[in-house]
Structure 1
């Protein structure tokens, strides 16, 4: 259905027309969520991200605030319920629904903000793309941090792995990529929501040009590849005996898998079939047996390090003397009988609430009978900068790759390459590919080559332009060896840190305040029953 006829923007504009009919708006909101979902891995239809943003912007334009909130929430449900279905594999359907509902609420806030800012977009139509970019980036700013440290899954930026706009991550990280994608969506809705007069056609041409330029021009953004020395790195995906929550009961078999795969690599090196690596990286939970407390596990890991004659970054759980408390760590295990290097280890800084530790445990127990399966993972207190001798790693563990500051801290701390240790055995391939998309963005953002290694897949290497190499299959055993370039330029995104995002959030606050007098004026007009449009 075409949008209703509109007056042209400007100070002398007449009273705006009504919003879209509610059934149409509901359909657009659901379509918006579906488009945003299909833009993300494993579908990777990146061009649907701005389309999804545009559909929601059209649905909420000129609606009452509660309708904007509801339509945004509906779009969020269409996005997050299927996107996060992998959480139900381990936790069950109820936690999956609670997480999806909580994430959808933030999209609801974006819908509410879109409704609130409608008078500004009507008065200054050229501002609509900018307002849309501000809304989406601020929504992600809030969702990435609240509650319990936030959950950044499903950001617009993480859908752009194959898009030219990914290159903008080197200038402003994930927030800038999200902002530009959302501005493009705002240009699309402003293009469609025009009055088709001569002046309207001129404005439409301008919005079309904005959308095309923002989509294609980032391909010209220069990215400087690391030009320093290189080192050979091997990633070992040992696989687990079977997928599912109960794989931890077979943790010795998981450790054996990674040891045996490394011994196989050592045999290939000795036979001249593989290059000698300077470093081997095992995934998160590759040894769920604490090798600092279990001599058998320590002996197995040492045998692998000695055979390959290279240090191994081992993902393990480090127990404490407090019953049930532990750290999720990457610890460097050196060859030649040297053993664990306790000065070169990283403890995960951002454990996942309700999965790796349980806030509000008595209340959570009412939601799921699996609550008490969650032990108490403690948070580390320093960035994951690990000097292996062959390279300085920026180590992050599993979901931490989604958090801007945790990755950036490693680069500021001297990381030459980025390493993501993860364990996808209780999830599925879609979740693994969503995580790899984040690694691609981080590599571009910080100008560093990167790797992701998983117990079951997907594992692989990523260059500083975001291209993936040596990607493995899912639920298989694999060893991949690659030369990685060290260091790289200090990107603008690394240097500027959080400030681009803070600037965008500040701009959103200003826009919301600017809308206040316009909304009051609109309310006075509505009280005179000029249009009655806001009742829809």
Structure 2
């Protein structure tokens, strides 16, 4: 490789590392602009094959450290997931290289970035959207754009800002001035939107988020299932005593996190008795994160169950997780892979996917329930808002990933969803991070990891819908289509000029 080639490779890899540092827990959001801009410079006027190589380096530099928390499941898991994301990054690098000679290449680059994120969010096995550029921007001026075009618009504008910044470096003087002006306008626009955002007003609902904590860590965190449930009982009974003494105000609803009952309370009398005891102590409904058996012996369901005082669980108000995690909650090609990879036996019974959005009437309010990683998937969140959710709830269990960056990254995604939907987001986690996020993405309350805690809050029951909630996936598809059109124009141009390759 030539010296120039080595410099480009270093720029691409370094850009990937800088992009990683934009994400929590480091959270230096401007580095996403620097990192993406570095990739744009490195692939500038390169052939597609070289662009793919440079894109893969950028992807490895970004995704391997970003997703290092998945190594808790085994280092090979990180290698495979990192390699998969590297393939998407290679495709992105190739398309950025091919389109880099177009007059409007920064805009095309931004649209292509959105298109690749769209692909990552859907394939394979339902996709894995972790690491979208927007998810690093919850605390930046760009986050304000989420209310108007969702996550895709935020990603597109961050990528556009990065590409324009690269143009300031590589283009002629007149073009550099225009690119610099574009960067200033995009940042100023985000600041203006954030300053002008109005918060919803109206009726409120009082909620308690119970973080019962878990007895272990890593893969053994939930090894003592009954202990986890009893921890949540103890925290709920403590809350009831504080309410009775006047230390905290009464609540309308209590929320327990995902896996707060890891044994089916419909079939296990001891688990049911523990939940009944908690509900009778607090005397308001509890949204219980439960594992339910079936259908059949092979499957289980991850669910949110409304449990009423006096009458118990309401079978008509159960949300079943719609997007189980491949290789974590179910095994694609199970019959073929199990004999080859014995460690997959740890998955146990496979998670059966639900069909209906998690719109639940609890305590007089309408909640939109999403479970754990589902907060990263646009359609899951959009569906509950379209179904009338006034408040978003994230029931999550991050105990396996305690001590890693995963809980912070997921909490940041929840912040962006609050802005996108114009709704408060309540996060209930088994061992943290639980918290309350305002409709403008402001963190109002949050707990520490590895502790038992209860958060008591009162949030507005929002009824309006943001532009992003009305447009749903349209911005993503429009931007992706524009990126594809730009790529097509670039391919035609290269073939005409004899520079394809």
For the 8 Å contact 1:225–1:488, the answer to whether it is kept is: no
CA contact (8 A) 2:421 2:466 kept: yes
Q: CA deviation at 1:247?
A: 3.1
| Residue 7 of structure 1: aligned partner | none
TM-score of the two chains, using structure 2 as the length reference: 0.96
Q: Following superposition of structure 1 onto structure 2, how do residues 51-200 of structure 1 map, counting pairs within 5 Å?
A: 51-89=34-72, 91-120=73-102, 124=103, 127-194=104-171, 200=172
Kindly provide the CA deviation profile for residues 493-532 of structure 1, in whole angstroms up to 9, marking residues without a partner as x.
Answer: 01111111111111012111111232023326x9xxxxxx
Residue 455 of structure 2, aligned match among 455, 458, 480 = 480
Aligned match for 1:277, one of 226, 251, 261:
251
Q: Distance in 1 between matches of 2:36 and 2:232?
A: 44
Equivalent residue for 2:180?
Answer: 208
Equivalent-residue separation in structure 2 for 1:223 and 1:334 (angstroms): 37
Indicate if the aligned counterparts of 1:254 and 1:286 stay in contact, CA closer than 8 A: yes
Give the equivalent residue in structure 2 for 1:416. 390
| Whole-angstrom distance in 2 between the partners of 1:71 and 1:383 | 40
1:517 is the counterpart of 2:492? yes
Alignment check: 8 A CA contact 1:317 1:329 kept: yes
Task: Give the superposition deviation at 1:366.
Answer: 6.3
Q: C-alpha separation between the residues in 1 aligned to 2:342 and 2:31?
A: 39
Q: Which sits farther off after the overlay, 144-153 or 366-375?
A: 366-375
**Inter-CA distance 321–231: structure 2 relative to 1 (3 Å threshold):** closer
CA contact (8 A) 1:94 1:368 kept: no
Which residue is equivalent to 2:337? 364
- Determine the structure 2 residue equivalent to 1:402: 376
Instruction: Report the counterpart of residue 386 of structure 1 in structure 2.
Output: 360
User: Which residue is equivalent to 2:407?
Assistant: 432
Counterpart of 2:201 in structure 1 is: 227
Match for 2:19 among 19, 25, 36? 36
Indicate whether 1:346 and 2:328 are aligned: no
- In 1, are the aligned partners of 2:132 and 2:155 still within 8 Å (CA)? yes
Q: TM-score, normalised by structure 1?
A: 0.90
Shift of 1:59: 0.9
CA RMSD of aligned residues (A): 1.5
Contact 1:441-1:466 at 8 Å conserved across structures: yes
Shift of 1:445: 0.6
Q: Which residue of 2 aligns with 1:14?
A: none
1:223-372 → structure 2 map (5 Å cutoff): 223-320=197-294, 322-335=296-309, 337-365=310-338, 368-372=341-345
Aligned length: 496
Counterpart-to-counterpart distance in 1, 2:203 and 2:340: 52
Question: What is the CA–CA distance in structure 1 between the aligned matches of 2:105 and 2:184, rounded to whole Å?
Answer: 16
207 and 367 in structure 1: CA distance in 2 versus 1, 3 angstrom threshold: farther
SS at match of 1:426: helix
C-alpha separation in 2, matches of 1:215 and 1:193: 21
Whether contact under 8 Å (2:287, 2:306) holds in the other structure is yes
SS in 2 for 1:387: strand
Quickly say closer, same or farther: Cα 1:20–1:278, change in 2 above 3 A. farther
CA contact 2:148–2:467 (8 Å) conserved in 1: yes
SS in 2 for 1:187: helix
Equivalent residue of 1:370, what SS?
A: helix
Could you tell me how far apart the structure 2 residues matched to 1:145 and 1:254 are?
34
Residues 88 and 120 of structure 2 are in contact (CA less than 8 Å); yes or no, is this contact kept in structure 1? Answer: yes
- Structure number with bigger Rg: 1
Residue 8 of structure 1: aligned partner:
none
Secondary structure, counterpart of 2:68 in structure 1: coil
- C-alpha distance in structure 1 between counterparts of 2:437 and 2:372, whole Å: 16
How many Å apart are 1:219 and its aligned residue?
1.6
Going from structure 1 to structure 2, the CA distance change for 1:20 and 1:117 (only over 3 Å counts) comes to: farther
Q: Give structure 1 regions of 4+ aligned residues with deviation exceeding 6 angstroms.
A: none
